[in-house]
């Protein structure tokens, strides 16, 4: 539970092994680690991951925000124990991890960020009164969306149908893998399969957050960090280049780029990524 909201937690590996906390990306769920996490479990780690609020088997919330995801991450971390442990985050999971580590650096021993470094997209430089109008419009738009989505139900489809719809966002992933994701990230109702993700969810959530803020926080990262980037652009990716990332990483951070890989680096290249992570953690 996190502040009254039920979170679904998955684990791989022995209960007595060294724990490592995983965070998945936006519009994903713990099952996206089903190929990658066992590689770390086989190497002696206890991998713990949760479905973020509104995702997978975790409860849906009245409202969503970046800060609430950070609080949920801390709740899962507290459930593992008080000792500092490694943290790995993919995409949005890497982004919220940056904020958690800044708040409680003594709880994290090492940080692995898998294609979760935001790109540099500055908000427009406008006068204060115009900025206030923009904020009011943004908030109104989000609340209107929440009202419209209050009774919305995701469209049912077959396993193949959902897999092909997902492939539009993940064009580099095989249909076989995407079919598997449907079986763990969707539910089978009488009229077909539909994703479990809350229809009210939108990328970015709700509240004061900009990608560039997370980017600029990284230079003061208080724990050792390994950054892994897939350089093939995809719809769900940040589009961050190695050149950009190196400008904002702390001097002692390690950066690995995968030229032939997209946003889901750990799914396309699970063995290569696992080897790099294990070497870093050791």
Write the pLDDT tens digit of every residue in 28-86: 999 999 999 999 999 999 999 999 999 999 999 987 888 899 999 999 999 999 999 99
Lowest mean pLDDT of 114-118, 136-140, 267-271, name the range. 136-140
In a domain, 4, yes or no: no
- Assess whether 91 and 133 both reside in one domain: no
CA distance linking residue 4 with residue 131, whole number of Å: 35
- Assess whether 172 and 118 both reside in one domain: no
- Assess whether 13 and 77 both reside in one domain: yes
- Assess whether 46 and 109 both reside in one domain: yes
128 neighbors 45 (Cβ within 8 angstroms):
no
Structural domain boundaries, residue 27: 9-124+202-281
- Assess whether 101 and 211 both reside in one domain: yes
Which CATH number goes with the domain that contains 22? Answer: 3.40.50.1820
Sequence-ordered strand ranges (E) for 217-278: 225-230, 254-258
CA distance linking residue 146 with residue 155, whole number of Å: 18
- Assess whether 181 and 210 both reside in one domain: no
Angle formed at CA 9 by CA 37 and CA 7, multiple of 5 degrees: 145
- Sign of the dihedral defined by the CA atoms of residues 102, 106, 107, 111, in that order: positive
66-80 and 92-103 helices cross at what angle (nearest 10)? Answer: 70
- Assess whether 176 and 236 both reside in one domain: no
- Assess whether 226 and 255 both reside in one domain: yes
From 195, 219, 243, the end of a domain falls on 195
- Assess whether 119 and 137 both reside in one domain: no
Instruction: For residue 47, list its beta bridge partners.
Output: 12, 20
- Assess whether 154 and 188 both reside in one domain: yes
Model pLDDT for residues 202-257, shown as the tens digit of each residue = 765 555 567 777 888 888 899 999 999 999 999 888 889 999 999 999 989 999 99
- Assess whether 26 and 111 both reside in one domain: yes
Number of domains in the chain: 2
- Assess whether 140 and 70 both reside in one domain: no
Confidence (pLDDT) at 277: 98
């Amino acid at each position: 539970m996190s502040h009254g909201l039920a979170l679904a937690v998955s684990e791989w590996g022995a209960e007595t092994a060294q724990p490592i906390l995983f965070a998945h990306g936006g519009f994903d769920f713990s099952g996206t680690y089903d190929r990658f996490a066992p590689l770390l479990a086989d190497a002696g780690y206890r991998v713990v991951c949760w479905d973020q609020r509104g995702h997978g088997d975790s409860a849906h919330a009245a409202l969503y925000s970046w800060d609430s995801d950070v609080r949920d991450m801390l709740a899962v971390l507290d459930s593992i124990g008080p000792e500092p442990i490694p943290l790995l985050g993919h995409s949005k999971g890497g982004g919220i991890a940056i904020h958690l580590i800044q708040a409680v650096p003594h709880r994290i021993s090492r940080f692995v960020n898998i294609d979760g470094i935001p790109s540099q997209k500055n908000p427009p430089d406008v006068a204060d009164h115009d900025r206030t109008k923009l904020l009011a419009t943004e908030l109104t738009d989000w609340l209107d969306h929440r009202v419209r989505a209050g009774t919305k139900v995701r469209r049912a489809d077959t396993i193949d149908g959902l897999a092909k719809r997902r492939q539009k966002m993940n064009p580099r992933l095989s249909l076989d893998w995407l079919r598997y994701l449907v079986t763990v990230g969707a539910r089978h109702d009488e009229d077909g399969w539909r994703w479990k993700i809350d229809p009210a969810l939108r990328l970015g959530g709700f509240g004061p957050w900009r990608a560039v803020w997370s980017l600029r926080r990284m230079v003061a990262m208080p724990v050792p960090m390994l950054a892994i980037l897939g350089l093939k652009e995809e719809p769900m990716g940040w589009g961050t280049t190695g050149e950009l990332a190196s400008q904002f990483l702390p001097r002692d951070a390690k950066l690995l780029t995968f030229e032939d890989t997209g946003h889901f680096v750990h799914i396309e290249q699970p063995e290569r990524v696992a080897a790099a992570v294990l070497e870093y953690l050791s």
